[in-house]
Amino acid sequence: RLGVEPVTRFTQDDLSGAAAFVRGQTGVTLISWEHHRIRGLIQEFGKVTPSPRDWPDDRFDMVWLLRPSETGWALDEMAQLLLHGDRTV
């Protein structure tokens, strides 16, 4: 256990509020969001490169890593990359 309480005060449509909260944090912040709205949440950060695409409906094994960059924010997509016979966690 990390000993960290999740922040649950933002509704799924409060994209600007959630983004503002995250921008004010130091260190790593993990965001769990409804997949049809996560692209809009990322766009609330301003200039993001590359631009986020729609989250695929059939993908539950990836995360987007958003890092501050000199020109705004850098976005990386990371998949769990399971091998045949592996189990999800």
Task: Note the pTM of the prediction, 2 decimals.
Answer: 0.80
Per-residue confidence (pLDDT) for residue 56, from 0 to 100 = 87
DSSP the chain: ----PPP--S-TT-HHHHHHHHHT--S-------TTTHHHHHHTTSSEESPPPPPPTT--SEEEEEEEETTEEEEEEEE--PPTT----
Domain boundaries, given as residue ranges, for the chain: 15-79
Per-residue confidence (pLDDT) for residue 47, from 0 to 100 = 95
pLDDT-flagged residues of the chain (< 50)? none
Per-residue confidence (pLDDT) for residue 89, from 0 to 100 = 61
Per-residue confidence (pLDDT) for residue 88, from 0 to 100 = 66
